[in-house]
Structure 1
Amino acid sequence: MIFDFDGTLADTLPVCFLAFQSVFKEFDDREVTPEEIKAMFGPSETGIIRENLTSTDHEKAIDLYYEVYRERHEKIVQDNEEINNLLKLLKTEGYKLGIVTGKARKSLDISLECLGLTNFFDVIITGDDVENPKPHPEGINRALDYLNLSANEAVFLGDSDADIMAGLQANVKTIGVHWLPNYQTVEFSIQPNKIYTNIKDFIESLSENKMKST
């Protein structure tokens, strides 16, 4: 079971937006909205800054992004007991767990550490690990290769059209999730195999599928 991260496993989009807004204000004297930032998503945070910042002082801008992201993470991003319990349940049930995210390794590590999620995952593919970000399936395919799994043995869960398209192109079952307060795509333009708006229903569906297979 492979997950996107921002908006899927953690409600990190608000701190991402704040960190980007701080960078664009400081270096370009430009106000950017969350919607404008979402439109830049695809590359890692460092890629977004390099591609979209007018100022050429990219390294200092990237340093500021991580500084704000780390400093404000604890106040803005709350621990989610339901997510923690879901991951514990999946591990107990014997699922291999993975993350495929456009985030850079550095910001993902900050989030995993702050939220106590560092020990759940068998494979992690970040935006630093791929040449082609989602919706390209490279990240998912890399995760499957690492886990030695075929596409029909995996599910990819995400909150954006890019997630669903990447999953479809990797030939895995896709699940769209709108179970956290903030997520990227309000209405999926590419239909996932399933959509869940709360974790409880997803857990119940796993139990039902397990009963059917026994």
Structure 2
Amino acid sequence: MSIPLNSQLISTLLFDLDGTLLDSFAAHYKAYQIMFPQFGIEVSEAHFFANYSPDWYHTYRMVGLPEDQWQDADRVWLEAVADINCELFPNTLSMLTKLAQTYLLGLITSGSKSRVQRELKYTGLDQFFPVVVTGDDVDRPKPDPQGLQMALSAMGKPGEGAVYIGDTVVDYEMATMAGIPFVGVNGRFQSFPLDADFPRIDCLSELPALLKKTQ
């Protein structure tokens, strides 16, 4: 069961990156198209979409990439994606500018530190997030709440007053395990249950109004 959003005075907003702020799927898919053939795997678009997951090791497993090749696959994928720029979802910068006037902002993502830092600088997101926790910073990936707890500690904030915003069930599970409310962003690959008991938005521009209603 999710933590009620209206049970506290919200002071801190923690965001996921890919699929939430950054429209990165097309770029990441292109990198997969470069990477998989180097390991003798041909994946049709339909098969890839049917097995896609933000957890790329799940994707590796589903397309038949042997586990002993995952580390090399990570390296090739990162090299490929480094040459492809991602774009923000519409109105992301203006929305964050508005939110930063009222809330402390932080970022927790499963992405590698080098890739995330490059994306933040390219898109201008780096100006909003003094605290960024990446997949390279944790021992236990999502949905374990380690990354979220690290961000709150670095910000000098307890869990009270924080909200996590993400686009996957894994994000929801992490927030719930950490004991903080969650807001889901509906997207192409989200799989939130229809009876989910947390608020959901279709685009980030809806977030300020949602937060205002809970105050």
Q: Determine if the TM-score, normalized by the shorter chain, exceeds 0.5.
A: yes
Q: Which runs of 5 or more residues in structure 2 are unaligned?
A: 1-12
Deviation, 1:127, is 0.7
Deviation, 1:135, is 1.1
1:119 corresponds to 2:127? yes
Please give the alpha-carbon distance, in whole angstroms, between the structure 1 residues aligned to 2:196 and 2:119: 29
Q: Deviations over 1:110-167 (max 9, x none)?
A: 2112212112102111111111111111111111111121212100011000000000
For the 8 Å contact 2:184–2:200, the answer to whether it is kept is yes
Q: What is the aligned-residue identity percentage?
A: 24
Matches within 5 A, 1:59-98: 61-73=73-85, 77-93=86-102, 95-98=103-106
1:206 corresponds to 2:211? yes
Matches within 5 A, 1:1-20: 1-20=13-32
Q: How many residues in Structure 1 have an aligned counterpart in Structure 2?
A: 198
Deviation, 1:62, is 3.7
Deviation, 1:21, is 3.0
User: Relative to total residues, which structure has the larger helix share, 1 or 2?
Assistant: 1
Q: Which residue of 2 aligns with 1:27?
A: 39
TM-score by length of 2: 0.79
TM-score by length of 1: 0.80
User: Residues 136, 35 of structure 1: CA spacing in aligned structure 2 closer, same or farther, 3 A cutoff?
Assistant: farther
Q: Deviations over 1:27-69 (max 9, x none)?
A: 233326133241x7066x9xx69xx743866666444322321
For the 8 Å contact 1:136–1:166, the answer to whether it is kept is yes
For the 8 Å contact 1:123–1:147, the answer to whether it is kept is yes
1:185 aligns with one of 183, 187, 190: 190
AA at the equivalent of 1:96: L
Q: Which runs of 5 or more residues in structure 1 are unaligned?
A: none
Q: Which residue of 1 aligns with 2:5?
A: none
- Comparing 162-171 and 24-33, the one that deviates more: 24-33
